[in-house]
Amino acid sequence: MTELLFVPLKRGSDVDIIKPLKNLIASTYSTADKPEDYTDALSELNKLRYLAVRNLDRTESSVENIGKYYDQLAALEQKIPVQELQIPFKWKDAFDKGSIFGGRISLTIPSLAYEKVCILYNYGALCTEIAESQNLDTEEGLQKANKKLQVAAGVFSALKDKVVGAIEQVY
């Protein structure tokens, strides 16, 4: 039986996105005579983040949740001034297995762009995990694995271009 390799997932930490977004929206978009309440929408976004970051398994619903959260981040990034939003997104390195001292490499950056890159990485990684879990002895399993690996390859190719482009802009 042939076995496939898969790419490990990054692990994200819990982050309070409701309070900073609520404050930013209130200070930027609300008027004194008619303050709007975005609590329900922000709670839904927080729930979507939880499903996309902390509640992952090798299912299509997990892939869909990651995709939905990524879409919301992209839409949010278009509407909110990036320099004004300071949410410290913390992600652990997917390939670091820790040392004998128990530490794991992690990076915290207060940027929606960083969150998007990590989410997109996990989208591709989860596709490889789903491909690896397929029964390659059947035609259906082989086709599903092939499709998931193609999606993962496209995601990682896009990430390579996006991350290299972002780094070149900084320097």
Q: Which of 113, 121, 116, 127 is closest to 169 using CA atoms? A: 113
Q: How confident is the prediction along the chain (171 residues), in pLDDT tens digits per residue?
A: 567 889 999 999 999 999 988 888 877 766 555 556 788 889 999 999 999 998 888 889 999 999 999 999 999 888 887 777 889 999 988 887 765 555 568 888 888 888 999 999 999 999 999 999 999 999 999 999 999 999 999 999 999 887 766 655 544
Measured distance CA(1)–CA(91) in Å, rounded: 35
Delineate the domains of the chain, giving CATH numbers in brackets: 11-170 (1.25.40.280)
Element (H, E) at 12: strand 11-12
Q: Which residues contact 82 (CB under 8 A, 6 or more apart)?
A: 111, 112, 113
CB 123 within 8 A of CB 63: yes
**Cβ proximity of 9 and 132 under 8 Å:** no
Q: What is the DSSP string of 14-53?
A: P---HHHHHHHHHHHT--SSS----HHHHHHHHHHHHHHH
